[in-house]
Structure 1
């Protein structure tokens, strides 16, 4: 069974529509072999306890053939020389329906199956009592394992041609089949055609390809249909219209070839034949089939629906995601343990395995972080500034989502949860690409999160990219993706920055420093240095270089700090001064991120030496001074040019959750837009909203500009 059609194993009741092109041959005669094979399939399904409802076309075609023959037999040679009048369609329907049902009755009787005829018209469905009785009759027939056969009662229908008029409840047997599937609560609708399914163009053309799963965002407006059916009313166009309508109403549809033996049975086995229409088609199709642009466009459309929701509804989505994570904690742990085991077997470095592992309590912690985020003030549409431009002309600067974010991250599956929750809170669409080492963890987390997103928004708000090959295509979509945030190695970030026109937010390195001044409290210094290095060595905010004032060599501070690090298993490397003093290997470069239990040590003359070292060799991420001398500390805080600068606190505090942002999408060392831990505010831009009362510019002849700041006035009014 194809994975994308696994849901078919749960089908019990199905509606099968067979078209005229299947029932009849090219010459208009009945295709007895095909009809017999169809009846044999229905017999087989009936014996397997499927409830099959048949909608059959063909009556008008059969009636036309019989009446033409009858007219020929009753006409003189002179009559045949006269212009021939087209046969009345309703008379053809009346004669043909009798023949069609006699044929079905005969074929089913040979198979020991009982069938029943039900003729309906468009106007019947306007009557609630009719619809109620219809359900009761069909239920009774199916309970007796009788096959109901429906057709439109064309002989007495008051609906006029052209048949393409879709103003009624249904307008052909395709739309009738879709209506019956919905009315009778079917699990599946199968539309049998004379071709294999829906093609990207006319099936007869060599470049046309069979579409296995129909995606409205991708295929609507891009498909070229061939001629209409040689005998029916609308051909493939009508089938697609009916299929899309049924699928959007929650009834899966498969269009497949009715001339092929056992195609209905193959569909129910989950074989990948024909074209599937499904309201969750985007979740059933592998991302490589969906396409990079389709994912981005779908994320944008979903984000706009999210933005249109009320604050409370957006908050509820986050709370539902938090609850879903907790409810699925065991399943998530199983998948994560499988990833960790595979990474260990593959011989990955311990630092990567540490980032990959979801430790006990991590899911609960993530869920609680999401709840904190949900309870924060709603960030969308917040008025940042209000200005009266002129009398009756009010300008507002408001917060607004960026649009669609592409996040490429390595190793850490918890990043997926944080990023997804921030995207929902900020009203942005999101595309995620995680590392292959976290494939199972990312897949289960993505499913748990998207399952909690309501249909009114759409699960495609958050797309999971599964193939590395798709990244180059995504990076070209500067018209539909608004921001790229890479979270990973220097190499990853550099590659992305060099491969896209889309703005990139993030940091290439996390080379964080701790400078211990001569005025430092050494007990405090030891606690901070050890925490900054060993609390989580793989983190981007872990200390990579320890700088110490030269006077600490004489006072024993250097020995105390280095012994403490060695005791905790940290490997030390030295700069030119420290390596000779401490007899340790010299570091290959000061600009190096270990991401493990290792660090570089160097001796500097004073705070200015520390500042120069950090500004020259650091990555502008997070740097810290430990000092009791407040003047020295202030010099450091003012002159170190990094995104985060701390005094007497571990670099490990540089984190979105610890900063009270709820979560973080990453840490930015950029100087444009957002810097440091990027939370909700970093994922917003601004919009200008102008409210007027009929003003026009007209050369500024009449408008008298006042440019009064109304922001403070409104804030005072709100407080009062």
Structure 2
């Protein structure tokens, strides 16, 4: 083993051991202690705005030199308003019910055994994510509230921001009398260290990737640690023939343009062939600066549209780009979405309750909307507080991952001497 490899391994070994020790403490904490720590972190963020912004500027400057796209720079950027929002979210989290210890079910067997299923922390959670320093705070806060220790591995593009944020979090934990090692950052951002993290079954109880489709595929394919798969968002808005024109255009434009760099933004729009306002929708999107790709039918109906390739239907643009396809029925829309979608968020705009029901039951996704924008797939919008990501799998957690998604269950059994 080279000295570099040894250094990387030592960092993971030490932080993993410390995380296990911290998790043992956190699992037994009362909600009050955890909430006081969240309040301390909130205040710590507000007290350290200048230092956090200075660190973030270093990342932004490096990102511009490296040629990062504007959408990635937007994800990376922190300002005073975003830091204030993170601080507010921490305080809001203290108002949410702590799921740890919640009794989900209890029953008694004929032999007198009494059983109850209760929520418990997962233990040590690993989070690997890209270019979004707000995830550092969200992940730490959600794990703390649920009694989990967390090992964070962000990207090299956000390393200065993440180090500054974790420094504030750890010092705030110490102030609140909790172990600093409840939250740790892997400062080596090499792929080799990430690959080792994927296989730390002796330390991590679960690994959660949050970022691009490529990152998520890499983690799912390489990890031996159990993975909760969060979603890339190739999200669709389907405009049915019975859709109100103004509502459809408003929803489609909002879903695409409000914040195009996030996973719940619409990337594709499907339009029923009998809906007569395609050209107006295209014009509305172009007015907002959206580059429109379209199939042959769309190109025949609207000006300034690029020809969509087969590759376009599966792309997550994360930018002011969209692809539009004309379909003959709700069933064709469902089939297209289930072929190219990422099981994240899909929407139908229609005044037909029958078509809405067919769509919502037929589409395979974590969140399926009727007459609303896909932009609502978010922990805050769902009333969960901060979220750790949008799970697109079907085991344990699906959709916005709030507090309950960071717990497991334990069955407690009480008897009076039963042996059989």
What's the TM-score bracket when you normalise by the shorter of the two chains?
A: over 0.9
Q: What are the superposed Cα offsets for residues 78-120 of structure 1, whole Å, 9 maximum, x if unpaired?
A: xxxxxxxxxxxxxxxxxxxxxxxxxxxxxxxxxxxxxxxxxxx
| Cα distance in 1, alignment partners of residues 39 and 235 from structure 2 | 35
Query: Match for 1:587 among 293, 300, 308?
Result: 308
Cross-structure match for 2:394: 671
Question: What are the ranges of 5 or more consecutive residues in structure 2 without an aligned counterpart?
Answer: none
| Cα distance in 2, alignment partners of residues 561 and 411 from structure 1 | 32
2:81 maps to 1:361: yes
Query: Match for 1:478 among 187, 195, 201?
Result: 201
Query: Match for 1:633 among 356, 368, 386?
Result: 356
2:231 maps to 1:511: no
Cross-structure match for 1:326: 46
Query: Match for 2:294 among 541, 555, 574?
Result: 574
**Where do 1:44-443 residues align within 5 Å?**
288=8, 290-390=10-110, 392-443=112-163
| Cα distance in 1, alignment partners of residues 270 and 41 from structure 2 | 43
Q: How many residues align?
A: 410
Q: Is the 8 A contact 1:521 1:627 kept in 2?
A: yes
| Cα distance in 2, alignment partners of residues 402 and 674 from structure 1 | 13
Q: Is the 8 A contact 1:625 1:636 kept in 2?
A: yes
Superposition RMSD in Å = 1.8
Query: Match for 2:183 among 455, 462, 465?
Result: 462
Aligned pair in 2 of structure 1 residues 522, 303: CA closer, same or farther (>3 Å)? same
Query: Match for 1:488 among 201, 205, 211?
Result: 211
Q: What are the superposed Cα offsets for residues 438-468 of structure 1, whole Å, 9 maximum, x if unpaired?
A: 1111010001111111375311111101112
What is the Cα deviation at residue 502 of structure 1? Answer: 1.2
Q: Is the 8 A contact 1:512 1:541 kept in 2?
A: yes
| Cα distance in 2, alignment partners of residues 580 and 689 from structure 1 | 65
Say which is worse superposed, 419-428 or 523-532, in terms of deviation.
523-532
| Cα distance in 1, alignment partners of residues 7 and 385 from structure 2 | 30
What is the Cα deviation at residue 360 of structure 1? Answer: 3.9
Q: Is the 8 A contact 1:287 1:465 kept in 2?
A: no
| Cα distance in 2, alignment partners of residues 461 and 290 from structure 1 | 18
Q: What are the superposed Cα offsets for residues 139-176 of structure 1, whole Å, 9 maximum, x if unpaired?
A: xxxxxxxxxxxxxxxxxxxxxxxxxxxxxxxxxxxxxx
Cross-structure match for 2:255: 532
Q: Is the 8 A contact 2:111 2:418 kept in 1?
A: no
Please, what TM-score do these two structures have when normalized by structure 2? 0.94
What is the Cα deviation at residue 669 of structure 1? Answer: 0.8
What is the Cα deviation at residue 287 of structure 1? Answer: 7.5
| Cα distance in 2, alignment partners of residues 452 and 389 from structure 1 | 47
Cross-structure match for 1:613: 336
| Cα distance in 2, alignment partners of residues 586 and 504 from structure 1 | 38
Query: Match for 2:279 among 554, 559, 570?
Result: 559
Aligned pair in 2 of structure 1 residues 654, 508: CA closer, same or farther (>3 Å)? closer
Q: Is the 8 A contact 2:299 2:306 kept in 1?
A: yes
Q: What are the superposed Cα offsets for residues 400-444 of structure 1, whole Å, 9 maximum, x if unpaired?
A: 111111111101000111111001011111111111111111010
Q: Is the 8 A contact 1:514 1:546 kept in 2?
A: yes
Q: What are the superposed Cα offsets for residues 448-500 of structure 1, whole Å, 9 maximum, x if unpaired?
A: 11111137531111110111232122112112211111111222111111211
Q: What are the superposed Cα offsets for residues 344-364 of structure 1, whole Å, 9 maximum, x if unpaired?
A: 122211111011012441111
**SS where residue 545 of structure 1 aligns?**
strand
Say which is worse superposed, 435-444 or 357-366, in terms of deviation.
357-366
**Where do 1:4-83 residues align within 5 Å?**
none
Query: Match for 1:694 among 410, 417, 420?
Result: 417
What is the Cα deviation at residue 508 of structure 1? Answer: 5.1
Q: Is the 8 A contact 1:303 1:457 kept in 2?
A: no
Q: What are the superposed Cα offsets for residues 502-551 of structure 1, whole Å, 9 maximum, x if unpaired?
A: 12112352100001112112112122111111111110110000111111
| Cα distance in 2, alignment partners of residues 508 and 665 from structure 1 | 11
Q: What are the superposed Cα offsets for residues 159-199 of structure 1, whole Å, 9 maximum, x if unpaired?
A: xxxxxxxxxxxxxxxxxxxxxxxxxxxxxxxxxxxxxxxxx
Higher Cα radius of gyration: 1
Q: Is the 8 A contact 2:106 2:117 kept in 1?
A: yes
Aligned pair in 2 of structure 1 residues 537, 338: CA closer, same or farther (>3 Å)? same
**SS where residue 222 of structure 2 aligns?**
coil
What is the Cα deviation at residue 576 of structure 1? Answer: 4.1
Hey, which bits of structure 1, 4+ residues long, moved more than 4 A? none
Determine which structure has greater relative contact order: mean sequence separation of CA pairs < 8 Å that are 6+ residues apart, divided by chain length: 2
Aligned pair in 2 of structure 1 residues 662, 510: CA closer, same or farther (>3 Å)? same
Q: Is the 8 A contact 1:494 1:508 kept in 2?
A: no
| Cα distance in 1, alignment partners of residues 314 and 331 from structure 2 | 19
**SS where residue 485 of structure 1 aligns?**
strand
| Cα distance in 1, alignment partners of residues 9 and 171 from structure 2 | 21
Cross-structure match for 1:622: 345
Q: Is the 8 A contact 2:231 2:391 kept in 1?
A: no
Cross-structure match for 1:90: none
What is the Cα deviation at residue 289 of structure 1? Answer: 7.1
| Cα distance in 2, alignment partners of residues 315 and 329 from structure 1 | 22
Q: What are the superposed Cα offsets for residues 617-666 of structure 1, whole Å, 9 maximum, x if unpaired?
A: 11111000111111211111111110110111111110112111111111
Please, what TM-score do these two structures have when normalized by structure 1? 0.55
